[in-house]
Amino acid sequence: MKHLMKTRRTIIAGNWKMFKTVNEAEALVKGLLLELPDVSSIDVVLCPPFTALSRVADLVSNTSIRVGAQDMHWEKEGAFTGEISATMLRDVYCRYVILGHSERRQLFGETNESVNRKAKAALSASLRPIVCVGETLDEREKKDFRAIITRQVKESLAGIPAEQAEEIVVAYEPVWAIGTGRNATPAQAQEVHALIRTSLVALFGDKYAGNMRIQYGGSVKPNNAAELLGQPDIDGALVGGASLEARAFTAIIKAGL
Ligand code: 13P
């Protein structure tokens, strides 16, 4: 499906979460490489667990597909047991890093402030941050979720120079849509994407904000991808479950071509 009105380059990323051993990762990537047509007109990013990054980067090295990590620490190195730095991710050919995923915010104490530090460190290391925001079901039903999302965007991206803004991808992932099979409707998603773009304009100005990509994530599947990606402010997808299967992920990517 062509989006003639859009000038932003579509970005489809697969967040594998804590799935796939190195051998399983290899099998998935080989399957994808067999299924995929030429995808060089868009950005396709695979985000395996840390342990499989190196092998996946190796397997896609002759293609336009890029590799991303699912988190990182903001320091360059040091006594931070269990952590990984941006330099280490670059060392295994990562180009992107997911930051502030709702699972990290909810289960591992990630805050807008830590996401902000990580985003700055990622940009300094020439890694493109995919900064996730989104409301819980409770927030959507009981609170002003628009204010919550606006605050997540502003605080997570505070103090970043406007000239670096285009390197940042924002992912809107309503928590109630993640892994539930219940995606936001295209209209619901578009409304929040437009709101996020307004926040980005306030932070970085029209020129830069207009070029920033905003992905939708949350139960993106082959049967809903085209309609979601057809919305004016939806510039891509961050795919969880469906990215673990070559056929399904290929179908979603094709919807973005
Ligand atoms: P699902 O596509 O499995 O709902 O996961 C979305 C997600 O969390 C991607 O980061």
The residue contributing the CA closest to ligand 1 atom 1 is: 240
Q: How many helices (H) and strands (E) does the chain have?
A: 11, 8
Please tell me the predicted confidence (pLDDT) of residue 6: 77
Local confidence pLDDT in tens for the 257 residues of the chain? 444 567 999 999 999 999 999 999 999 999 999 999 999 999 999 999 999 999 999 999 999 999 999 999 999 999 999 999 999 999 999 999 999 999 999 999 999 999 999 999 999 999 999 999 999 999 999 888 999 999 999 999 999 999 999 999 999 999 999 999 999 999 999 999 999 999 999 999 999 999 999 999 999 999 999 999 999 999 999 999 999 999 999 999 999 99
Strands (E), 108-235: 128-133, 169-172, 213-217
- Identify the residue whose C-alpha is closest to ligand 1 atom 2: 240
- Ligand 1 centre distance from Cα of residue 74 (Å): 24
Protein residue with its CA nearest to atom 9 in ligand 1: 240
Measure 239 CA to ligand 1 centroid, in angstroms: 5
| Whole-number pLDDT of residue 223 | 97
173 catalytic residue (yes or no): yes
Q: How many Å apart are CA 54 and CA 65, to the nearest integer?
A: 14
Catalytically annotated residue among 101, 103, 110, 193: 101
Which one is catalytic: 103, 135, 139, 173? 173
Contacts of 78 (CB under 8 A, 6+ apart): none
Residue 179 Cα, ligand 1 centroid: separation in angstroms? 6
Query: 0.95 exceeded by the pTM?
Result: yes
Does residue 191 have an active-site annotation? no
Ligand 1 site-directed mutation target among 110, 136, 173, most atoms within 8 Å of CB: 173
All structural domains of the chain, each given as residue ranges with its CATH number in brackets, are 2-256 (3.20.20.70)
Q: DSSP for 152-176, please give it.
A: HHHHHTTT--GGGGGG-EEEE--GG
